[in-house]
Structure 1
Amino acid sequence: MRAIVMKSFGGPDVLQMTEAPEPNPPRAHRVINVRKAGLNFADVHVRTGTYLADVELPYTPGNEVMGIDDQGRRVVALTRGGGYADQVAAHRMTTWPVPDEISDEQALALTLQGNTAWHLLHTCVSLTASDTVVISAAAGGVGSLAVQLAAQTGARVIALASTPERRDLATRLGASAVVDSRADDLTQAVLDAASGPVNAVLEMTGGRVHEQLLATLAPLGRMAVYGYAGGEPAPAAGRVILEHSLTVRGLWLPHLYPVRGALAESMAALFGAAAAGTLQTITSQQWPLEQAADAHHALESRTVTGKAMLHVSD
């Protein structure tokens, strides 16, 4: 079968198309014939050797696929690598049938990024209608879904995005206010937009941005951290956390894979909202499998809006 294989860490050009053996599924796994493979910033961390888990080379990236399983069903699945290929083995606990009314593109957008958005809001920060929440990268795959899910709880949403077009999108999706994420004083920009401190923050950039957003939280505020796309992990800020009784909680979605019912509940809620028309998925660009390197160039240039994916087969 065809697969994208990296034999070293580095730039997008380490992603090379090659012939690979078909998967031999271990117990409790299913083989999926991949139609589409999700592109996520975590894949960039895998490629550059900065991922949270060890990556043993040679390696095929891709933690999210949509395709046809060995029972002939349309399914989506979360995997631990291997998705950039014609076939992949996925555990049955992280494989879900796709409802007929949900398109391939919708299903893929809801899987890794949809589950992340749902658990950031409901598991990590326990968002309520009385909260004001700051959402980073509000036009991205996770952010665009989180804006909608947060607004539907009744919370006030302050959306961060880097361009006027992305801020306009966040407003259309339900944000109450928008902020230029490149502002020199991001703390003050958020406080101005929110008319004061906020209750919750979803943060995925790290470094100085993390510090600036932490400073926007009111006492007893909550921050959910789900990445460090800026390349620098979030610094420890124990004194600030203690002074304001803050909660800072990380989320790495694979920790929920073995938790019985956790992802099944969120997946059902996401499919239901999309089918009812209350949750819009934003699909960016699709690249053929052999252009995985081009797709990674786009991810790193921050030009992707919404969900990006590789087209593998029809």
Structure 2
Amino acid sequence: MRAILVSRLGGPEVLEAAELDDPVAEPGRTLVDVTAAGVNYADTHRTDGSYRAAVVLPFVPGTEVAGVGPDGRRVVALLFPGGGYASRASVADGDLVEIPDKVDDASALALLVQGLTAWHLLRGSARLSQGETVVVGAASGGVGTVAVQLAAQFGAGRVIAAASTAQKRERALRLGADVAVDSAADGYAERILEATSGRGADVILDSTGGDTLAAALGGLAHYGRLISYGNASRQGRAPVDPGALADRNTSVGGFWLRPALDQPGGFREPLSELLTLVADGRLVLPPGPSYPLGDARRAHEDLLARRTTGKVVLTV
């Protein structure tokens, strides 16, 4: 089968096209003919060795695939620890979900990591309550485009989109954000406070880390919660002073999707809910860039350079 293999840790340059043996069918697993594979920031962390879980070399990256099962059904699936950047994949039966007819491959893939992350961030980690104000960082990215819409679906009173360019902020506004602000660390808290008439936000979702996370803390309202779920800046861990948090009784939480999926009701139920929202037209997933499987290196380069919006997909 065709695949992308990582034999050494590093940047996009370590992604190499390869011909590998097809996976072997095992009890409790299904062989899927892959039609598309999703690309995530986590894939770049696995490739350069900065992912929170260790990787074993060599490996095929990719934790999400859409394709066709042996019975002809269109399915979408999660793969841990990887194996998605390939023309065939072996998937645990419990990690397969059928794709509704009205949902295309790219949209289904966008719901696996990005969609489920947004769902769990708002429902589980932030415990969003009716009428609260939510700031969605990286609002034009894969998680952000879903989180902006889900926050409103889940009862947020005000959704503030934070993004790095005017074009990305305009995109978030078209998706339903009430206001959009520049996400640059310098002045970030002040812009959040201005957008909330000085009150601050009840929830801030941050995937950038570093200076941006540190700046965002100043934009929290009393009893506000900042949820960190990534470190796209590749900066060191931002120091958090418990004393400063106590000044307004704020809190900082961390989120990682993988253990959330292992909780009862953590995977199939929220994914089915998200697929239904897309099929019904209540959740819009703007198209992102698509690359042939052999261009995985370029896909990673564009993702890291923030040249992409929406879901990045490799077509097989």
- Aligning the two structures, in what range does the TM-score lie when normalised by the shorter sequence? over 0.9
Give the 3-state SS of the residue equivalent to 1:111 in structure 2.
Answer: helix
Conservation of the 8 A alpha-carbon contact between 1:62 and 1:83: yes
1:189 aligns to what?
191
What amino acid is the match of 1:74? R
SS of the residue 1:283 aligns to: coil
Identify which of 191, 203, 206 aligns with 1:203: 206
State the 1:59 CA deviation. 1.0
Deviation at 1:184, TM superposition (A): 2.0
SS at match of 2:60: coil
Compute the displacement of 1:26 (Å).
4.5
Partner of 1:136: 137
Distance 1:179 1:35, change over 3 A: same
Q: Which position in structure 1 is the counterpart of 2:123?
A: 122
Corresponding residue of 2:65: 65
- Report what 1:161 is aligned to: 163
1:224 and 2:224 correspond: no
Superposition pairs for residues 165-314 of structure 1, below 5 Å? 165-182=167-184, 184-196=186-198, 197-237=200-240, 238-312=242-316
Preserved CA contact (<8 Å) 1:93 1:258: no
| Equivalent in the alignment of 1:37 | 37
Matches within 5 A, 1:74-153: 74-80=74-80, 81-153=82-154
Deviation readout 1:45-96 (Å, 9 max, x if unpaired)? 1111101110111111001111112332111111111100011122222211
The alpha-carbon deviation at position 295 of structure 1 amounts to: 0.6
Go from structure 1 to structure 2 and tell me whether the alpha carbon gap of 1:233 and 1:268 turns closer, same or farther (over 3 Å shift): farther
Task: Indicate the percent of aligned positions where both proteins have the same amino acid.
Answer: 42
TM-score by length of 1: 0.95
CA distance, structure 2, for counterparts of residue 26 and residue 258 of structure 1: 22
Q: Secondary structure at the residue paired with 2:66?
A: strand
Q: Give 1:164 deviation, angstroms.
A: 1.1
Separation of aligned partners in 2, 1:130 and 1:260:
28
Shift of 1:239: 2.5
Listed as ranges, the gaps of 5+ residues in structure 1 are none
Equivalent pair of 1:31/1:70 in contact (CA under 8 Å): yes
Q: What is the distance in 2 between the residues matched to 1:273 and 1:242? A: 39
- 8 Å Cα contact 1:287/1:295 also seen in 2: yes
Higher deviation after alignment, 133-142 or 263-272: 263-272
Alpha-carbon separation, structure 2, partners of 1:167 and 1:298: 19
Q: Counterpart amino acid of 1:145?
A: V
Contact 1:183 1:189 in 2 (8 A): no
> Following TM superposition, by how much is the alpha carbon of 1:233 offset from its aligned partner in structure 2, in angstroms?
4.7
User: Once the 2 structures are TM-superposed, how far is the Cα of residue 267 of structure 1 from its aligned partner?
Assistant: 0.7
What secondary structure sits across from 2:267 in the alignment? Answer: helix
Moved more, 303-312 or 244-253: 244-253
Q: Distance in 1 between matches of 2:70 and 2:250?
A: 47
Residue number in structure 2 paired with 1:21 = 21
- The yes-or-no answer on 1:50 pairing with 2:50 is yes
Q: Deviation per CA, 1:106-132, whole angstroms, max 9, x where unpaired?
A: 111112111111111111111123100
- Give ranges in structure 2 of 5+ residues lacking alignment: none
CA shift for structure 1 position 282:
1.5
3-state secondary structure, aligned to 1:273: helix
SS in structure 2 at match of 1:57: coil
The code of the aligned residue for 2:315 comes to H
Name the amino acid aligned to 1:22.
Answer: D
Q: How many residues align?
A: 312
TM-score (norm 2): 0.95
Greater mean alpha carbon deviation, residues 91-100 or residues 297-306 = 91-100
Contact 2:185 2:215 in 1 (8 A): no
Q: Contact between 1:141 and 1:282, CA under 8 Å: does it hold in 2?
A: no
Counterpart in 1 of 2:9? 9
Q: CA deviation at 1:190?
A: 1.2
What CA distance in whole angstroms lies between the structure 2 residues aligned with 1:136 and 1:90? 32
Q: How many angstroms apart in 2 are the aligned matches of 1:52 and 1:70?
A: 34
- 1-structure distance, mates of 2:79, 2:236: 24
The answer (yes or no) to whether the contact 1:219–1:244 under 8 Å persists in 2 is yes
